[in-house]
Amino acid sequence: MKATVFLLMSVVFFGARPNQSWAQNEKHLDHPIDDQSHGKNENNGSHSKKTTTDEKNICGALEVFEGDVQILNPTKTHLIELRRKAPVPCGSWISSNEGWVHLKHSAGPTVNLGPGTYAQLLPSSHSKEQVILFRGQVYLDVNSGDGEFKVGSAMGRARIGRGKVIYLTGYSEKTSAQLVVLADFATFENRFQETKKVRVSEGEMSELSFDLLRVMPKEPTPISVAALKPKFFDLHVDEKVQAQAISLATHRQERVVLVHDEGANQESDEDEEAPKKNKAQNRSLASSESKSPKSESEITRDQALLEKKLEEKLAPGVSDPETLIYPGRKPKLTRKERAERKKLLEQIKQFQAEP
């Protein structure tokens, strides 16, 4: 009996006692090792543990993601848990090999990273750029209240005050960068030659490379809608933005010459006046609008009123003042008289036409 009890106790004892490896595992749990996404689902983070991140150093929040996405914390000790609204610390490295990720930066803009992208998120205050793009493509939607948002790559830097842009780098073997502006405008510059910036307006793109033996970005050119569509697909850009961008791109393509210069069609004598005309035509809405010239009907009405006043002044009480004031002028015809005259003229013409 005693032996049975002993054996049963030993079974209970051996079964419940945590062994050495378990204790070691508990120690491991002190270091937060979070899960990563390896699957194709958004909710692929079941084994994750919550990280302890300092709220002051949060640079953004994860909105939505899909596919193979990893976010490594700045100290490279753990991977950030991938879930909606997960905080992303400043200095985090975001990698989306075969997936895409949408983030909300703490400064306000929306940051969409496409496939094959590697980027770092930085704070607004202490860095020249808020997003450093190591390679790949990023879509940024900056609103007017967000302040100037900067995205940089190895060679170029884009500054966006308000607008929707796509920034690409590492798409060719040579070091290069490309800025596509979908709405509003942005400036583009060489990181190592900041004195000259190129303004890129909506529906335009600019490229920076040493192919053309220049240190500045290329002059902005209209973007093609066919080239835009794959980018929209990769970056999961909102459909409304897509429609707006396509409309703006088409509008920009139709605009061949920037200035509508009527004066330039005439020869040199009139050229001096042409800038004045253009100045008036290109007046921005913010400036005060000049008075438009009076229409013909308004001028006729004013003249009739003036003549009436003059007649009252010069020949008061006279039944036919016109003959008195203007003796040489032909008398004004009434509507009936004009119609009769017209009829007569037509009859004369017919008469003349007959052989």
Partner 1 sequence: MDYRALIFKKISPWIASWAAATSGFYHHTQEKVNHLRELDEKYAQLAVQNAALKEEFEALKFAKESKSAADGTRAFAKRLSQDTGMRTGRSIASFNYKIPTDLSSTQLYILGMSYFLAHDDEKAAVILSSVMSLDGSYRTAKNYMISGVIWYRLDNMAQSDQNLDLAIKLETTPESERYQAQARLWKALVAKRLKSDDQIQFWLKQLLDHHPHLTETGWVNLGGEEP
Please list, in sequence order, all residues whose beta carbon lies within 8 angstroms of the beta carbon of residue 34, skipping any fewer than 6 positions away. 48, 49, 50, 51, 78, 79, 80, 81
- Kindly tell me which of 78 and 159 has the beta carbon lying closer to partner 1: 78
Beta carbon of residue 322, minimum distance to partner 1 (angstroms, whole number):
50
Beta carbon of residue 273, minimum distance to partner 1 (angstroms, whole number):
13
Beta carbon of residue 130, minimum distance to partner 1 (angstroms, whole number):
16
Compute the distance between CA of residue 217 and CA of residue 268 in angstroms, rounded to an integer. Answer: 35
Other beta carbons within 10 Å of 75: 8
Task: Using the structure block, give the residue that is written with the tokens 């998120």.
Answer: 121
Which uninterrupted H or E stretch holds 223? Answer: none
Give the residue among 203, 201, 206 at the shortest CA–CA distance from 222. 203
Beta carbon of residue 354, minimum distance to partner 1 (angstroms, whole number):
50
- Kindly tell me which of 8 and 306 has the beta carbon lying closer to partner 1: 8
- Kindly tell me which of 262 and 298 has the beta carbon lying closer to partner 1: 262
**Joined tokens for residue 311:** 């007649």
- Kindly tell me which of 58 and 154 has the beta carbon lying closer to partner 1: 154
**Chain length of the chain:** 355
Compute the distance between CA of residue 264 and CA of residue 247 in angstroms, rounded to an integer. Answer: 30
Please list, in sequence order, all residues whose beta carbon lies within 8 angstroms of the beta carbon of residue 250, skipping any fewer than 6 positions away. 203, 225
Contact 178, 168 (CB under 8 A): yes
Compute the distance between CA of residue 98 and CA of residue 80 in angstroms, rounded to an integer. Answer: 18
- Kindly tell me which of 143 and 197 has the beta carbon lying closer to partner 1: 197
- Kindly tell me which of 225 and 264 has the beta carbon lying closer to partner 1: 264
Positions touching partner 1 (CB under 8 A) are: 1, 3-4, 7-8, 10-11, 14-15, 19, 21-22, 25, 28, 33-36, 47, 70, 72, 76-79, 93, 95, 118, 132, 134-135, 154-155, 175, 190-193, 195-196, 210, 212-216, 218-219, 221, 257-259, 261, 264-265, 268, 271, 275, 278
Compute the distance between CA of residue 149 and CA of residue 142 in angstroms, rounded to an integer. Answer: 7
Beta carbon of residue 116, minimum distance to partner 1 (angstroms, whole number):
12
Beta carbon of residue 83, minimum distance to partner 1 (angstroms, whole number):
16
- Kindly tell me which of 10 and 347 has the beta carbon lying closer to partner 1: 10
Beta carbon of residue 306, minimum distance to partner 1 (angstroms, whole number):
39
